[in-house]
């Protein structure tokens, strides 16, 4: 949006709805500049689509499995996270698989994963943020409405408690969820949310009693495979990720988007079973798949935007702003850049 925006004075208060990587990155810039920052997330912890499922025997990444870096600012952040130990390089052994066979697959991109689980990165960002005296995080707090007041914006939570007033509201929830909040107050932001259509994705998971069988010609320690299959898109082996080496065989099974959307209202158990059958179909028929300990599936109704967007974030002069991966191209790096750059814009550091 090209409309001039007055930078927030340092003492101003900002509420950020959504503590995924975009909201956390925005909060980091704002709190470091001296603004008073309060983050809200409806989930039990921060991380959003970079979340991990903790089971007694294993931890499985349910959203992003790994991410790449192109931007120099994001690379600097990544280097810091590697230095503190909440991020590590992964995967290095990837394959392209179908019922006709497996081939090594290397696109030359270096990728990273949170250590010892993907959600550790958001946890680290949230801990560094809330270690500042001017920042706090409320988890388990769905925000259901915004209300203007003479002293700024109030937030209404699902349990009917009110927070605020705040000078600035940043919403990093996916656009369909942001739409509900901005719709009564800003026609342009609301209309833009409607144009940012989202794709859904089912993410299955399974923990086995023993290792998956060897496949002729494939490294036994293979880490991730992209599948040429109508149901299953990506398989990744959580016990090959840094910090999880002692856990049993535990796979994340990301479904194809078209198939996910066709199965959107199916029960999770049915989806998990179909994703497992799809995995078995890319193994040689004689291979014995080990006994299953546990399985399940998580539905991401808003997994990724269906098209890239030409701007990093959106804001209006009335103190409402939107950020998140949907305002770029739907990757972890896009989410971080969107939140980071919106933060810089709000404190007047960016002229974009």
The residues binding ligand FAD (CB under 6 A) are: 17-23, 40-43, 48-50, 63-67, 142-143, 172-174, 177, 201, 203, 254, 300, 303-304, 324-325, 330-332, 334-335
For CA atoms 201, 203, 204, 210, the dihedral sign is positive
Smallest gap from Cβ 55 to ligand FAD, in A, equals 18
- Residue closer to ligand FAD by CB (options 18, 319) is 18
Smallest gap from Cβ 64 to ligand FAD, in A, equals 4
Burial of 291 (C-beta count, 10 Å sphere; 0-12/13-18/19+): exposed
- Residue closer to ligand FAD by CB (options 99, 230) is 230
Smallest gap from Cβ 341 to ligand FAD, in A, equals 13
Burial of 118 (C-beta count, 10 Å sphere; 0-12/13-18/19+): buried
Q: Quick check: 78 and 71 in contact, CB under 8 A?
A: no
Burial of 136 (C-beta count, 10 Å sphere; 0-12/13-18/19+): middle
- Residue closer to ligand FAD by CB (options 182, 335) is 335
- Residue closer to ligand FAD by CB (options 137, 348) is 137
Q: Quick check: 220 and 240 in contact, CB under 8 A?
A: no
Smallest gap from Cβ 107 to ligand FAD, in A, equals 12
Helix (H, G, I), strand (E, B) or coil at 90: coil
Q: Quick check: 50 and 121 in contact, CB under 8 A?
A: yes
- Residue closer to ligand FAD by CB (options 140, 213) is 140
Smallest gap from Cβ 235 to ligand FAD, in A, equals 13
User: Residue 174 is encoded by which pair of tokens?
Assistant: 């996916």
């Amino acid at each position: 949006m090209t409309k001039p925006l007055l930078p927030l004075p340092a003492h101003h208060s900002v509420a950020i709805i959504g503590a995924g990587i975009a909201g956390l990155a925005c909060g980091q810039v704002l709190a470091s500049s001296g603004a008073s920052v309060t983050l809200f997330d409806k989930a039990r912890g921060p991380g959003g689509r970079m979340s991990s499922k903790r089971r007694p025997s294993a931890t499985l990444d349910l959203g992003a499995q790994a991410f790449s870096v192109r931007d120099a600012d994001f690379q600097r952040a990544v280097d810091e996270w590697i230095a503190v130990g909440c991020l590590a390089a992964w995967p290095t052994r990837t394959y392209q698989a179908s019922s006709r066979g497996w081939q090594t697959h290397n696109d030359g991109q270096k990728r990273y994963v949170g250590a010892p689980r993907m959600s550790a990165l958001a946890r680290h960002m949230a801990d560094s943020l809330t270690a500042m005296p001017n920042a706090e995080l409320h988890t388990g707090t769905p925000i259901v409405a915004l209300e203007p007041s003479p002293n700024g914006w109030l937030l209404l939570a699902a349990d009917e408690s009110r927070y605020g007033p705040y000078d600035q509201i940043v919403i990093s929830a996916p656009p369909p969820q942001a739409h509900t909040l901005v719709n009564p107050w800003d026609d342009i932001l609301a209309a833009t949310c409607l144009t940012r259509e989202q794709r859904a994705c089912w993410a299955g998971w399974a923990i086995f009693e023993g290792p998956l069988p060897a496949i002729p010609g494939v490294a036994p320690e293979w880490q991730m495979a992209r599948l040429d299959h109508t149901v299953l898109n990506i398989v990744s082996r959580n016990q090959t990720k840094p910090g999880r080496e002692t856990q049993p065989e535990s796979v994340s099974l990301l479904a194809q988007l078209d198939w996910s959307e066709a199965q959107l209202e199916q029960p999770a158990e049915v989806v998990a079973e179909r994703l497992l059958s799809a995995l078995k179909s890319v193994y040689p028929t004689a291979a014995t798949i080990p006994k299953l300990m546990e399985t399940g599936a998580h539905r991401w109704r808003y997994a990724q935007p269906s098209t890239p967007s030409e701007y990093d974030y959106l804001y209006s002069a009335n103190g409402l702003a939107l950020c998140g991966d949907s305002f770029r191209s739907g990757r972890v790096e896009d989410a971080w850049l969107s939140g980071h750059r919106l933060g810089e814009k709000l404190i007047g550091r960016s002229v974009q």
